[in-house]
Amino acid sequence: MDVQSVAAPAIAYGGPAVAVAGGLSFLFLKTYLSQQRANPNRLPSLPVVPGVPLLGNLLELKEKKPYKTFTKWAETYGPIYSIKTGATSMVVAMVTKFDSISTRKLSKALRILTADKTMVAMSDYDDYHKTVKRNILTSILGPAARKKHRAHRDTMAENLSSQLHALAPRSSHEPINLRKLFQSELFTLALKQVFGKDIDSLYVDDLGVTMPREEVFQVLVLDPMMGAIEVDWRDFFPYLKWIPNTGFEHKIEQMYIRREAVMKALIQEHTKRIHSGENLNSYLDYLLSEAQPLTEKQLLMSLWEPIIETADTTMVTTEWAMYELARNPKRQDRLYEEIRNVCGSEKITEEKLCKMPYLSAVFHETLRRHSPVSIIPLRYVHENTVLGGYHVPAGTELAINIYGCNMEKEIWENPEEWNPERFLAENEPIDLQRTMAFGGGKRVCAGAMQAMLLACVGIGRMVQEFEWRLDDDTGEDVNTLGLTTQKLNPMHAIIKPRK
């Protein structure tokens, strides 16, 4: 039996564990949360999913979509339960703001690739987390920073539009690969925000090679996303960590070394441009001149994080939204009419998004139905906690099943259906935390507003300028081999410019 292949999905989102299995919505669960220290003898024990000796429930997690398995178990054992993954236990639940579980618990692969939590998304909630989050908000993602980078986002929208118009005449013979186009434009945006300039190629001194842009993207974005869920079987059996796992260690370390070399080369290129008199006004400039001093490792990770996060999750949401609109002509027409009524003959802009509730509903329904990250990386309970009426002792590991929350039938009517109209039923602004896509509380995603602007303007411009239909509807095929739940196969569409 190949333990590694069996274990893969179980630690895909952060390592070995205790899974608190989550069909439970935040609204329901938070009424049961307490920070009181409790006597475990006075509280019931967590329901346990039966497993087999030694492996526990690993054999039942063969499917590479653990969030669906967790949701199915919740129907039998309730919204909170415990499973065994090898030598450890795991609990799966829906929580967003809870001091005792704000600490990350990472797999061996994630510990290496995040330089031992040296980034906002994976760091513990401590002084370092607060510092690097403040840096990225000040220079890239906060209100003033978004205004500063507005020209880059507008250029991105224009470039995407121009490419689609160039490809449209032959799309009936060569369907559009939206993922390839949009992801490339997002990568360009990220490079401009971080380093002030895009690249065509890059000489990497530490590796002694010149990389084309596509290879730089592979090293900085695609490889780490896949490497993040690589399995070290020792994560399941920590008492055997003394046994070497040479193949795994070499693969992940090479990813780290190559990424570090490329980031150093990008910094070197930036330094040359500064010395030549260019004024780039980039994130790197801010970190070197105005921010609290960082070590070299912290600087590299601070620069790399907005690149990978900009170039992946926003693409996943936008592609799913366009897929759903392409196979729902009536909803696509409704969105087009809203855009036309608001914008007339003018192009859609960020200022006009607030006047288009249906576009907002399309965005949020896509986040609900196709959660970009279905299971949040594991968290670690560092003090005794009461969760859903159960005692959860310090040391427990928690997996938060966003998919289960968004598929809960008691909260969402016909949750399997993609139905933007469900977000138009309330006469109040849509709560960004309702679908849990951006987390919540003190660990809420710093890039939530930029992601919404990029996705909504992108979706709006594409529907405003083109009619979309699928070339071949392969169904809701989902790939969870990476950290995000993108379509297994890129969306291929036939587009027709609107009159």
Contacts of 151 (CB under 8 A, 6+ apart): none
Residue 392's nearest CA partner among 29, 121, 74 is 29
Q: Is 343 annotated as a binding residue?
A: no
Which letter, b or e, does each residue of 424-456 get, where b requires 16 or more Cβ atoms within 10 Å of its Cβ?
eeeeeebebbbbbbbbbeebebbbeebbbbbbb
Apex CA 471: angle with CA 470 and CA 475, to 5°?
60
Which residue carries 């576009």 as its tokens? 359
* Rounded Cα distance, 7 and 376, in Å: 17
Running DSSP on this structure, what letter comes out for residue 348?
P
E-strand ranges in 136-193 read 176-177
Cβ count within 10 A of residue 389: 12
Q: Is 471 exposed, middle or buried (0-12, 13-18, 19+ CB in 10 A)?
A: middle
Running DSSP on this structure, what letter comes out for residue 347?
P
Which letter, b or e, does each residue of 279-301 get, where b requires 16 or more Cβ atoms within 10 Å of its Cβ?
eeebbbbbbbeebeebeeebbbb
* Rounded Cα distance, 154 and 150, in Å: 6
Helices 357-369, 296-326: axis angle to 10 degrees equals 110
Which residue carries 């224009």 as its tokens? 158
Cβ count within 10 A of residue 130: 13
* Rounded Cα distance, 404 and 79, in Å: 9
Running DSSP on this structure, what letter comes out for residue 137?
I
Helices 178-195, 150-167: axis angle to 10 degrees equals 160
Binding-site members for heme are 445
Binding-site members are 445
